[in-house]
Structure 1
Amino acid sequence: MAFIDRVLRAPSYGWVDAAGGLVRPTPRQILREALARCNVLRTRKNWICVIAWVWVLCLLPAPVLFVKYHFSGGLLALALLFGVGGMSTHGTIWYHRYCTHRAFAFRHGAWRFVTQNLVPKVVPEEIYVVSHQVHHVKSDQPGDPYNASAGFLYCFLADINHQPIAHDLSEDDYARTVKMLAHTGIHLNSYRQYQRWGSVSHPAALIAHGVLSWTFWYAVYYAIGGHALALALFSGVLLWSVGVRTFNYQGHGRGRDLRRDGVDFNRRDMSVNQWRPGVFGGEWHNNHHLFPSSARSGFLWHQLDCAWLYIRLLHRLGAVASYRDDRQRFLDEYYRPALKARAASAAHPAHDGPSTPETPPIKPPGGASTAPTST
């Protein structure tokens, strides 16, 4: 069994059925698995499955108090913008492009610390990073920790049922797992500590980080706009922390092939480009699966990528030492050939062989493109 097949803790219903296909557990099986994994009395190693959902529960009073005592249309709009836009963009920058794919590198650890803590913390790095590496290797295949073909609940509760690392890794396998997270600056357990806690993160360090993060940001928001602003923005944090658990189900077509010719050029999996996560979070998902290590995924003129704008800004300020930008490769290898094929089809309709996928009118991107860069 390859390392990528054993690094995650397999659910009780397994990844692969007897015929070699994807196991599609019933909702009852998924819920039973989630409850078992949240039982810290059974084993302390279940703590990492619980912590992120404890944070979600702790956020629930924020919208209740906001609506009851401080509601206004302007603050509601701000909460929605912060949750859908600010939190999403930060998730793309920090968890996705830096922690998982190392698409860019900071010049100094201080800038890494600032970027990590731009918003209140609600997701442990190890839950996101390790499983996302597996996702890219096994995208839409058995073993993908959030395989959309297994249904919404399979994806929604993946952070409990499918994303935590295995409890029985060898010392060598644990060292390989640690390497996936060493660059993030989080506290890393020794192998002996891992055997006790079943995680790369130590519970005391992660919980302390969460408490300090929430305390700092609530104080900042309160200083700017009182409890009204603080509760509104923490309501936005709650919105994102629940919504992000639905993304991969939507981003992989809800288990169907929703890819569009001329829009979704990656055909190796079912990922699709969607305008809402693209515009508000810089997550053009099909583009990302095509070039996962690129610091930019908004490759076309109309694909706004705020995460990329942040990375470019830090690069101009000297805070980012290097980055990778695969826009030019995308244009040369996928976009322009599709335009040429469409033009050839239009010029010689009577001599067409098999039909060429239709590409909708697309404005050719202007300006120079940046090739893979290291500065």
Structure 2
Amino acid sequence: MTATISRSSAWANHAQTPITKLPRNWAVISFMAALHGLALIALLPQFWSWGSTATLLILYWVTACLGVTIGYHRLLSHRALRLPQWLERFFATCGALSCQQGPIDWVGLHRHHHKFSDTDSDHHNSHRGFWWSHMGWMFRDIPAERAIPHFTGDLAKDPYYRWLNRWFLVLQLPLAGLLFWIGSVTGAGGWALVLWGIPLRLVLVYHCTWLVNSATHRWGYIRHSSGDGSRNNPWVAALTFGEGWHNTHHAYPHSARHGWGWREPDLTWMHIQLLQRLGLATQVRLPAPLLAQAASGGVV
């Protein structure tokens, strides 16, 4: 990630442009409208079953926890741990199945957010309102997207990530085929599993992970000095496998652990601990205060 990007850079100056003057991104608006419509159809009684519920929960874990929080966020964006290449690519693929852009674009915008968090240059600046930080920013063509290459030189070197960044939407097609086949042979209903496993699951993953941009910059408590409006929010942490300990994350962005102590359970950190015990995760990064506490025999 380029460390010399100044706050006066051209792509950071969209703060001077009123929200209503930014061009609408009709592709994203249309996609979101269609997806939310299909999610509502999925909730019709004829599509519910224990099988469709299990499909939703399993894929929510695969895409939100393994994909977004471990893969896109702590692994690729912040390099808080290292994994063998095959396993890193597996987690990145799970992230691509979340349909929250490809790994290069997601990481680039996230690194941009950390550099300009809650300033006028932050593309989902929470001071512009809950709706804007939650999802409104995606409905406009934001200049921050032009900064992505400057933040993602490390990922752009990998041909698989370049491919995944371009074709992440296509991954939903083989997943839909697999779910339809499973639903047909098990009697759970092919279309039921497709609707619960793709549009309903995606809408759930979207809004829960977006709460990290919106709710945790509005409600919660401040544990550390982070220089922005981030807060630790227990109910967002419960929905996002530990991502809701957002103030701690902004204070120590390269830490593999966000929740500190038993009062702040961090399910993503538990997954990383398991990977460590299996000898798969190395160079796991923790902040100095946690390391000092562990060295002194304190409970962390």
Q: TM-score category by the smaller chain?
A: 0.7 to 0.9
Matching of residue 252 in structure 1 with residue 209 in structure 2: no
Question: How many residues are treated as equivalent by the alignment?
Answer: 285
| SS of equivalent residue, structure 1 residue 104 | coil
Deviation of the 1:300 alpha carbon: 1.3
| SS of equivalent residue, structure 1 residue 294 | coil
> What aligned pairs does 1:96-115 form with structure 2 within 5 A after superposition?
96-107=73-84, 109-115=85-91
TM-score, with structure 2 as normaliser = 0.76
User: What is the RMSD of the two structures over their aligned residues, measured on CA atoms?
Assistant: 3.8
Aligned to 1:148: 126
Matching of residue 33 in structure 1 with residue 33 in structure 2: no
Deviation of the 1:289 alpha carbon: 0.8
Deviation of the 1:4 alpha carbon: 5.2
Distance of 1:315 and 1:151 partners within structure 2? 40
Matching of residue 157 in structure 1 with residue 136 in structure 2: yes
Deviation of the 1:121 alpha carbon: 3.4
One-letter amino acid of the structure 2 residue matched with residue 329 of structure 1: P
Closer/same/farther in 2, CA of residues 51 and 88 from structure 1, 3 Å limit? same
Aligned to 1:329: 289
Deviates more, 1:178-187 or 1:295-304: 178-187
One-letter amino acid of the structure 2 residue matched with residue 106 of structure 1: L
Distance of 1:180 and 1:163 partners within structure 2? 21
Matching of residue 179 in structure 1 with residue 153 in structure 2: yes
Deviation of the 1:294 alpha carbon: 0.8
Larger relative helix fraction: 2
Distance of 1:51 and 1:213 partners within structure 2? 21
Distance of 1:219 and 1:112 partners within structure 2? 28
Aligned to 2:117: 139
Which among 270, 273, 278 is matched to residue 237 of structure 2?
Answer: 278
Q: Is the 8 A contact 1:127 1:164 kept in 2?
A: no
Distance of 1:183 and 1:223 partners within structure 2? 42
Q: Is the 8 A contact 1:140 1:270 kept in 2?
A: yes
Distance of 1:7 and 1:206 partners within structure 2? 30
Matching of residue 57 in structure 1 with residue 34 in structure 2: yes
Aligned to 2:72: 95
Q: Is the 8 A contact 1:79 1:232 kept in 2?
A: yes
Which among 229, 233, 237 is matched to residue 197 of structure 2?
Answer: 233
One-letter amino acid of the structure 2 residue matched with residue 112 of structure 1: E
Deviation of the 1:278 alpha carbon: 1.5
Q: Deviations over 1:159-190 (max 9, x none)?
A: 34337522xx7xxx94x44414247764438x
Closer/same/farther in 2, CA of residues 65 and 265 from structure 1, 3 Å limit? closer
Distance of 1:243 and 1:8 partners within structure 2? 32
Structure 2 gaps of 5+ residues are none
Q: Is the 8 A contact 1:271 1:286 kept in 2?
A: yes
Distance of 2:189 and 2:249 partners within structure 1? 39
Q: Is the 8 A contact 1:88 1:240 kept in 2?
A: yes
Distance of 1:266 and 1:245 partners within structure 2? 23
Distance of 1:4 and 1:211 partners within structure 2? 41
Distance of 2:184 and 2:32 partners within structure 1? 20
One-letter amino acid of the structure 2 residue matched with residue 33 of structure 1: L
Deviation of the 1:222 alpha carbon: 6.3
> What aligned pairs does 1:1-375 form with structure 2 within 5 A after superposition?
3=5, 5=7, 9=11, 14-16=14-16, 25=18, 29=20, 33-35=22-24, 37-38=25-26, 50=27, 54=31, 57-58=34-35, 60-71=37-48, 87-90=63-66, 91-107=68-84, 109-118=85-94, 120-124=97-101, 125-155=103-133, 156-161=135-140, 162=142, 165-166=145-146, 174=149, 176-182=150-156, 186-188=160-162, 201-202=165-166, 205-216=167-178, 219=181, 225-227=188-190, 228-234=192-198, 235-253=200-218, 260=221, 264-281=223-240, 282-283=242-243, 284-326=245-287, 329-330=289-290, 366=299
Q: Is the 8 A contact 2:208 2:236 kept in 1?
A: no
Q: Is the 8 A contact 1:315 1:321 kept in 2?
A: yes
